[in-house]
Structure formats: structure tokens, C-alpha cells
Amino acid sequence: MALNAPIGLSGEDRQKCAFTMPAKATNLNQHGAAIQLKRELLVGSTVVVRNKSGTQVSARVVAQLAAPQGVPTYAIEFAEQDDKVKTFWGITFPSAESKGATAQAAEQSGIMRRRRTVASLQG
């Protein structure tokens, strides 16, 4: 499931002009997001991201992605990894251990479903 959020973004664009403007964050994750805005950014630059609660965090522009409908999209990565960043999106992301447990449970569920299907076909 793709997660999106409206954000505010501040920084300097490719022409070194300061800006503060609304943007859209997509593919939210615990380390950052993809951001869409009508401004060209420089990969390697730092921006300030503001969520709907007004919390601000610094992030690095790590890549330029596609430009759907002519809107530049960039991958950003949070500069810090503190508690403010962990709760920035207002989402609790699963830990690596629980991801493994979830995948294992899903696999078990699939195995059990296949066994029931085979049993019903045989009987």
C-alpha cells in the first residue's frame, strides 16, 4: 500500500533560490519518502520537511526520480534518526523482526490454504 502525505518543503533549488512551498510526499517510509514539487532540486542538497502537525526535520535529496505529469520527483532521506523522525509521518512502521514474523505467518497461511485446497480436491 502506497502512503502519501501533504508536506511543506523549504530549501534552495537548483538555481540557489530559497523557497518554501507545499509538496506531496509519496512512498512514505521510516527513512524518508519520495517528494513531488514544482521546483528543481539539486541531488545532495538539504531541505527542511514540515508535516501537517508542524514538526520539521532535515532531509537530504538523495536521487532524482521520474517526473510524472511534468512534476519533478526526488527521493529524500532524513538527516537524523531520532525520535522526532521515528514519529514524523504519524505511522508506526514494522520493525525488521516483525517484518520477518509477518512474512513467515503469511507463508504459513499460504501453506495451510494450499493444504486445505488439495485436501478438498482429494476428498
pLDDT in tens, 73-85: 999 999 988 888 8
For residues 57-77, one letter each, b for 16 or more C-beta atoms within 10 angstroms of the residue's C-beta and e for the rest, the string is bebebeeeeeeeeeebbbbbe
What number is the average pLDDT over the span 8-34? Answer: 95
Confidence of residue 117 (pLDDT cuts 50, 70, 90): very low
- CB-based contact 46:32 (threshold 8 Å): no
In the prediction, which pLDDT does 98 show?
56
Which residues pair with residue 115 across a beta bridge? none
CATH T-level fold of 5-92: Thrombin, subunit H (2.40.10)
Confidence of residue 102 (pLDDT cuts 50, 70, 90): low
In the prediction, which pLDDT does 105 show?
54
The answer to whether residue 87 scores a pLDDT higher than 50 is: yes
The answer to whether residue 120 scores a pLDDT higher than 70 is: no
What number is the average pLDDT over the span 87-112? Answer: 66
